[in-house]
């Protein structure tokens, strides 16, 4: 089955266990003094129970066993079956230490070097008899228990030596040293101390505090950049001073031609000026050097500080991935598919901010894989594949990026089907589709509102899918999403995102006298083209690069800026080519300034969302520069080149006038509910109480924009009505939306066979789903 | 270069000084209130064109002088751009353009700009560019009347009341309305 990556949960368990163990230890200490403290015993039992449960959850069975045995003993004490004896204290401490050890070494097969079985046996015997069984003297000679069973089992003698070996093995810090060989009398104190130190090994901090810290750190980084600029300025000033002195010495030698009297007259001042100049040169030189040294030292520290601060927010991706096996099981059941999820690279670390955002797009992609990718078991077997489908989810770091891939061994994306759907929905003409390569066709799935599904259901085919995912990835995570697919073999989505959202690389460029930053991740190429390379096609300018035709748009026009004469006129025109959603667009700019790392800031709290602008950055000199938003640029740029004009005009034509809906529904309540929903949304609503009446009204020439029908109705069912509509040439163009309580796949299939355009089950029925579906179909 | 740095430093100091003075003024203004049990409110007066307006002092964070605005493309006309206030990015609102103060030409951000009042509520911050900053006045809450009924609708929205002080009618600006976030849906200059 699914390989369950426990690492992230183990970290959480360790955090929890640290708290629990401290309380359990403290509880034992208090209990020894006041054995009859019933509330304390109850609290202790609850903690032990929690420990048992959570350790079992993360698969640390040994801890769970030990906790279970401790519980057994304490239950007897609580119920008065056994008195609390000091010997128990020792056993409990020993057991708790064992748990501490096991918890800290969780997942490192620590259980092998700790004889848990022997310990649990002794605890079991204590639970049975109330008297601790003596610990074996040496672990390698388990046959020889020490005499005097009445004496407390010496935890110091038994686990001591083993724990002793730990620090060396585990690279544990000094705290572990306190663990070893506590003396018999000072035991509890020493142990308490050791545990106390351990709880301080991690500190829980509110994320808002970390964020504030990071904000301050980026301020420090920015002022450090300014500082470095100042070092250069100072060095220039020192250089000037040197030049000045040289000029002065030339001047002085020229003065030697003056009459000797005048020379004498000037000599005192000249000497003084000489000294001043030399002092100034020396001191400026010294300051400049000292400042440069200090700054470079500080820069190194600031660099480390920034790195460490960023680290604070890094978490393994498994914290998100670990919820997926369960989600996948649910999805597989929902779609009635047999799917296995294989997760790799769960320990890859990522900024917490990114992690928070990454869940939804990944779920979306996986849902897509289960719904559209993995075929039904029968089809898979027929195609010679294992009946059970596999979805691979992997994460890895590549440079300063994280690559997350979701691949399935399903049917792959059929370029033919995508093209057909694109033609049906008016994205493409037949001839355009013919000219389109398979690779380009696959990118159509990223088009707004695109869906290949034959029927709209509440789960998929709504066309809110990959386009949203992709925009989200680019806009929010400053990354990119790509797809590869081989028809019949499978599909692979590749998500590339920067390690952190705070800093990205960007190209600074100038347009209309203003500087802008363009994220480097989306830039395919920058070039300075000769005006002669620009070709006019149908009133639009394009260039040919590497056998592709790339439409050109002046960035100025997208941003709606005034034309300003370029600062230094050059015959070559700078063009930055963006690549997004399989489309390319060349942005004409005035000048490239250079590429650098920038710290991303929002536009402030007042400007929530501004077209084309993703945020701002502050440059070294304190200058605020807007960061451009690539998806917006593409959308707006393509509109300017006319690539999207056709679709835009199509939409406009249809919007005119209120749309009319025919509702066929026998239940009065449902009918009136639907009527009010559509009327509130501005539709004209006509109703019929059954299929036959609905059909009659249609044949009378009602001509609605859509029909919304129930399935189970007297005289004529919704399926029959749908069939009748779709087989009537006069009516076949009217979209039919089936709203029903039938939820089984076969019934949905019957709906599809009847020719329905959408199928909404009443269990998920809500106003938005209904309206959205109808609007989508009417368009 | 260094002159510029010095200027920003001066601006900082002057902003801080103004802030201190403002607090001092506010505390002085409030002192007599203990004796008289009339509920009063502090208002910061400012001039737009020929007219005087005021904002509740409680919502004023600081006064910002000598700043460089970065233009942001395709935002509403009354947003001049953003400024960097000690690392925090703050939008700059041309209040006169927003509330359509007559006899006032639109600001050109390339010219030297007058002072800006940085106002904030719990969620939003913006810098309001005004022509002149006046005194802080203390008025009884009951002295604040509803906005003039002669105001046109667009302007009335941005006014929370008016108050008559020393022979001047002062419009009290509705900061909450001005600080409503921009661009939750798609927003843009009609072009």
Q: Which site among B87, B91, B127, B175 would you substitute to test the A interface, given the most A Cβ atoms closer than 10 Å to its Cβ?
A: B87
Q: Which of A11-20, A364-373, A470-479 has the highest average model confidence (pLDDT)?
A: A364-373
Regarding predicted confidence, which is higher, A774 or B34? A774
Q: What is the reported pLDDT for A168?
A: 38
Out of A141-155, A191-205, A466-480, pick the least confident: A141-155
User: Is A75 strand, coil or helix?
Assistant: helix
Interface of A with B in 549-588 (CB under 8 A): 559-561
Measure CB to CB from residue A613 to each of B73, B123, B124 and give the nearest one.
B73
List residues of chain B with CB under 8 Å from any CB of chain A: 1-2, 8, 68, 70-75, 79, 82-84, 87-91, 93, 123-126, 179, 181-189, 191
DSSP letter assigned to residue A742: -
pLDDT tens-digit series, residues A157-207: 444 333 333 333 334 343 334 444 444 444 444 444 444 444 456 777 887
Calpha distance A402→A139 (Å, rounded):
47
For the cut 70, the answer to whether the pLDDT of residue A623 exceeds it is yes
Chain-wide mean pLDDT for chain A? 77
CB contact under 8 A, A623 and B70: yes
pLDDT grade for B9, boundaries at 50, 70 and 90: low
CB contact under 8 A, B72 and A603: yes
- The residue in chain A having the minimum alpha-carbon distance to the alpha carbon of residue B83 is A624
Domain range spanning residue A266?
Answer: 207-312
pLDDT tens-digit series, residues B93-132: 998 888 887 656 666 666 777 889 999 998 899 999 998 8
CA distance A307 to chain B (A): 20
- The residue in chain B having the minimum alpha-carbon distance to the alpha carbon of residue A227 is B5
CB contact under 8 A, B187 and A602: no
- The residue in chain B having the minimum alpha-carbon distance to the alpha carbon of residue A229 is B1
Regarding predicted confidence, which is higher, A31 or A151? A31
At A687, list the tokens. Answer: 């109703």
Query: What are the respective helix, strand and coil percentages of chain A, to the nearest 5?
Result: 50, 20, 30
Regarding predicted confidence, which is higher, B94 or A729? B94
A507 and A491 co-located in one domain: no
Q: What are phi and psi of A432, to 5 degrees?
A: -60, -40
A485 and A511 co-located in one domain: no
Handedness of CA A717, A719, A720, A722 (dihedral sign): positive
Residue B66 lies in a domain: yes
Average pLDDT of span A75-90: 80
pLDDT grade for A459, boundaries at 50, 70 and 90: very low
Residue B58 lies in a domain: yes
pLDDT grade for A287, boundaries at 50, 70 and 90: very high
Residue A2 lies in a domain: no
Instruction: Report CA-CA distances (Å) from A172 to A93, A165, A203, A305, A567.
Output: 21, 11, 17, 24, 62
pLDDT grade for A766, boundaries at 50, 70 and 90: low
Residue A651 lies in a domain: no
Calpha distance A620→A544 (Å, rounded):
37
A732 and A610 co-located in one domain: no
pLDDT grade for A510, boundaries at 50, 70 and 90: very high
Residue B191 lies in a domain: no
CATH number assigned to the domain comprising residue A694: 3.40.50.2300
For the cut 90, the answer to whether the pLDDT of residue A704 exceeds it is no
A492 and A560 co-located in one domain: no
Q: Does residue A612 sit at the B interface (CB-CB below 8 Å)?
A: yes
CB contact under 8 A, B91 and A222: no
Q: What are the chain B neighbours of A625 within 8 Å (beta carbons)?
A: 70
Residue A107 contacts residue A11 (beta carbons within 8 Å):
no
Residue A652 lies in a domain: no
Q: Does residue A240 sit at the B interface (CB-CB below 8 Å)?
A: no
pLDDT grade for B190, boundaries at 50, 70 and 90: very low
Calpha distance A409→A491 (Å, rounded):
7
Interface of A with B in 184-203 (CB under 8 A): none
Q: What are the chain B neighbours of A606 within 8 Å (beta carbons)?
A: 90-91, 93, 124-126, 179, 181-182
Q: Does residue A611 sit at the B interface (CB-CB below 8 Å)?
A: yes
Q: What is the reported pLDDT for A165?
A: 38
Nearest to A683 by CA among A555, A775, A550: A775
Domain count within chain B? 1
For the cut 90, the answer to whether the pLDDT of residue A270 exceeds it is no
- The residue in chain B having the minimum alpha-carbon distance to the alpha carbon of residue A220 is B87
Q: What is the reported pLDDT for B91?
A: 94
A36 and A94 co-located in one domain: yes
Return the percentage of chain A with pLDDT > 70, whole number.
Answer: 80
Q: Does residue A613 sit at the B interface (CB-CB below 8 Å)?
A: yes
A583 and A712 co-located in one domain: no
pLDDT grade for A133, boundaries at 50, 70 and 90: low
Q: Does residue A605 sit at the B interface (CB-CB below 8 Å)?
A: yes
Other Cβ atoms less than 10 A from the Cβ of A342: the count is: 13
Residue A353 lies in a domain: yes
A573 and A637 co-located in one domain: yes
Average pLDDT of span A633-651: 62
Calpha distance A29→A33 (Å, rounded):
7
Residue B190 lies in a domain: no
Regarding predicted confidence, which is higher, A648 or A202? A202
CB contact under 8 A, A616 and B124: no
Domain range spanning residue B80?
Answer: 2-178
Q: What is the reported pLDDT for A179?
A: 40
Other Cβ atoms less than 10 A from the Cβ of A744: the count is: 10
A612 and A662 co-located in one domain: no
A216 and A190 co-located in one domain: no
Average pLDDT of span A211-225: 80
Calpha distance A558→A560 (Å, rounded):
6
Chain-wide mean pLDDT for chain B? 78
Other Cβ atoms less than 10 A from the Cβ of B190: the count is: 5
Q: What is the reported pLDDT for A400?
A: 67
Q: What is the reported pLDDT for B168?
A: 85
Q: Which of A74-83, A163-172, B149-158 has the highest average model confidence (pLDDT)?
A: A74-83
Q: What is the reported pLDDT for A775?
A: 78
For the cut 90, the answer to whether the pLDDT of residue B59 exceeds it is yes
Q: What is the reported pLDDT for A646?
A: 42
CB contact under 8 A, A624 and B89: yes
Calpha distance A506→A527 (Å, rounded):
16
Return the percentage of chain A with pLDDT > 90, whole number.
Answer: 10
Q: What is the reported pLDDT for A220?
A: 85
pLDDT tens-digit series, residues A233-248: 899 999 999 999 899 8
pLDDT grade for B26, boundaries at 50, 70 and 90: low
Domain end (from A597, A615, A645)? A645
A37 and A112 co-located in one domain: yes
A vs B, Cβ pairs < 8 A, gives 97
Nearest to A305 by CA among A232, A224, A227, A230: A224
Regarding predicted confidence, which is higher, A530 or A86? A530
Domain end (from A312, A342, A370)? A312
For the cut 60, the answer to whether the pLDDT of residue A578 exceeds it is yes
Residue A650 lies in a domain: no
Q: What is the reported pLDDT for A375?
A: 87
Q: What is the reported pLDDT for B189?
A: 35
Q: What is the reported pLDDT for A589?
A: 92
> A691-699 and A718-726 helices cross at what angle (nearest 10)?
20
Q: What is the reported pLDDT for B107?
A: 66
Residue B74 lies in a domain: yes
Domain count within chain A? 5
pLDDT grade for A500, boundaries at 50, 70 and 90: low
Q: What does the buried/exposed string (b/e) look like for A212-239 if buried means 16 or more CB atoms within 10 Å of the residue's CB?
A: eebeebbebbbebbebbebbeebbeebe
CATH number assigned to the domain comprising residue B74: 2.40.50.180
Regarding predicted confidence, which is higher, A437 or A107? A437
CB contact under 8 A, B89 and A601: yes
pLDDT grade for B154, boundaries at 50, 70 and 90: low
**Tokens 């020490």 -> residue:** A146
């Amino acid at each position: 089955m699914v390989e369950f990556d426990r690492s992230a949960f183990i970290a959480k368990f360790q955090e929890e266990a640290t708290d629990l163990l401290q309380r359990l230890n403290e509880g034992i200490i208090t209990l020894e003094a006041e054995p009859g403290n019933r509330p304390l015993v109850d609290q202790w039992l609850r903690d032990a129970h929690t420990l048992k449960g959570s350790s079992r959850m993360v698969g640390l069975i040994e801890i769970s066993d030990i906790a279970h045995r401790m519980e057994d003993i304490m239950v007897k004490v609580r119920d008065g079956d056994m008195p609390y004896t000091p010997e128990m204290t020792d056993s409990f401490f020993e057991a708790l230490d064992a748990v501490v050890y096991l918890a800290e070494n969780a997942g490192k097969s620590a259980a092998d070097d700790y004889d848990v079985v022997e310990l649990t046996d002794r605890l079991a015997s204590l639970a049975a008899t109330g008297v601790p069984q003596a610990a074996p003297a040496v672990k390698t000679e388990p046959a020889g228990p020490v005499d005097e069973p009445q004496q407390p089992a010496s935890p110091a003698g038994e686990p001591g030596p083993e724990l002793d070996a730990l620090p060396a093995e585990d690279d544990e810090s000094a705290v572990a040293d306190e663990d070893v060989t506590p003396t018999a009398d000072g035991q509890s104190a020493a142990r308490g101390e050791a545990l106390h130190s351990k709880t301080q090994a991690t500190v829980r901090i509110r994320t808002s505090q970390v964020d504030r810290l990071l904000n301050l750190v980026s301020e420090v980084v920015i002022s450090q950049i300014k500082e470095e600029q100042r070092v250069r300025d100072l060095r220039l000033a020192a250089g000037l001073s040197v030049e000045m002195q040289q000029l002065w010495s030339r001047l002085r030698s020229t003065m030697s031609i003056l009459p000797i009297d005048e020379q004498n007259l000037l000599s005192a001042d000249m000497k003084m000026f000489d000294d001043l100049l030399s002092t100034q040169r020396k001191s400026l030189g010294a300051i400049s050097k000292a400042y440069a040294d200090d700054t470079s030292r500080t820069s190194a520290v600031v660099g480390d500080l920034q790195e460490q601060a960023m680290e604070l927010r890094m978490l393994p991706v498994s914290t998100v991935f670990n919820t997926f096996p369960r989600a996948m099981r649910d999805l597989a059941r929902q779609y009635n598919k047999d799917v296995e999820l294989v997760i790799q690279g769960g320990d890859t670390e990522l900024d917490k901010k990114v992690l928070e955002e990454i869940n939804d797009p990944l779920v979306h992609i996986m849902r897509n894989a289960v719904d559209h990718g993995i075929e039904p078991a029968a089809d898979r077997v027929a195609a010679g594949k294992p009946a059970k489908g596999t979805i691979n989810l992997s994460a890895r770091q590549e440079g300063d990026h994280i690559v997350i891939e979701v691949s399935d061994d399903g049917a792959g994306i059929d370029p033919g089907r995508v093209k057909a759907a694109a033609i049906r929905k008016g994205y493409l003409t037949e001839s355009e589709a013919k000219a389109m390569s398979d690779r380009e066709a696959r990118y159509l799935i990223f088009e707004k509102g695109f869906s290949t599904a034959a029927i709209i259901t509440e789960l998929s085919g709504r066309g809110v899918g990959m386009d949203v995912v992709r925009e989200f990835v680019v806009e929010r995570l400053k990354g990119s999403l790509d797809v590869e697919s081989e028809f019949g073999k499978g599909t692979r989505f590749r998500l590339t995102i920067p390690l952190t959202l705070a800093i990205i690389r960007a190209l600074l460029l100038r347009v209309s006298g203003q500087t802008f930053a363009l994220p480097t991740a989306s830039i395919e190429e920058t070039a300075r083209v000769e005006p002669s390379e620009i070709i006019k096609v149908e009133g639009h300018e394009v260039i040919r690069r590497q056998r592709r035709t790339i439409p050109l748009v002046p960035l100025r026009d997208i941003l709606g800026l005034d034309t300003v004469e370029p600062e230094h006129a050059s015959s070559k025109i700078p063009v930055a080519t963006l690549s997004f959603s399989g489309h390319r667009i060349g942005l004409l700019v005035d000048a490239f300034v250079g590429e650098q790392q920038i710290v991303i800031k929002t536009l402030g709290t007042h400007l929530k969302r501004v077209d084309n602008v993703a945020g701002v950055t502050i440059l070294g000199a304190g200058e605020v520069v807007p960061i451009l938003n690539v998806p917006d640029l593409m959308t707006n740029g393509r509109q300017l080149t006319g690539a999207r004009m056709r679709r835009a005009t199509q939409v406009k034509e249809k919007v005119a006038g209120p749309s009319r809906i025919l509702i066929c529904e026998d239940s009065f309540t449902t009918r009136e509910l639907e009527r009010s929903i559509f009327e509130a949304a501005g539709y004209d609503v006509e109703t019929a109480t059954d299929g036959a009446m609905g059909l009659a009204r249609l044949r009378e020439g009602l001509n609605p924009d859509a029909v919304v029908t129930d399935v189970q109705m007297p005289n004529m069912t919704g399926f029959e009505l749908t069939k009748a509509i779709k087989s009537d040439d006069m009516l076949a163009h009217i979209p039919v939306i089936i709203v029903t309580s039938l939820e089984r796949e076969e019934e949905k299939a019957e709906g599809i066979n009847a020719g329905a355009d959408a199928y909404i089950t009443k269990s998920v029925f809500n106003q938005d789903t209904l309206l959205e579906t109808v609007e989508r179909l009417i368009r | 270069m260094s002159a510029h740095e010095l200027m920003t430093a001066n601006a900082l100091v002057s902003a801080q000084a103004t802030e201190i003075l403002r607090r001092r003024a506010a505390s002085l203004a409030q002192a007599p209130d203990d004796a008289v049990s009339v509920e009063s409110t502090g208002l910061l007066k400012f001039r737009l064109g020929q007219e005087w307006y005021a904002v509740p002092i409680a919502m004023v964070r600081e006064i910002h002088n000598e700043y460089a605005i970065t233009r942001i493309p395709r935002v509403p006309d009354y947003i001049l751009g953003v400024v960097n206030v000690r690392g925090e990015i703050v939008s700059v609102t041309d209040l006169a353009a927003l509330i359509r103060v007559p006899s006032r030409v639109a600001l050109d951000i390339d010219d030297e700009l007058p002072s800006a009042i940085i106002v904030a509520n719990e969620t939003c911050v913006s810098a309001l560019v005004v022509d002149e900053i006046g005194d802080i006045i203390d008025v009884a809450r009951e002295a604040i009347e509803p906005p003039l009924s002669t105001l046109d609708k667009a302007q009335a929205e941005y006014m929370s009341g008016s108050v008559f002080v020393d022979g001047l009618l002062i419009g009290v600006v509705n900061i909450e309305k001005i600080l409503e976030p921009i661009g939750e849906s798609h927003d843009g200059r009609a072009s």
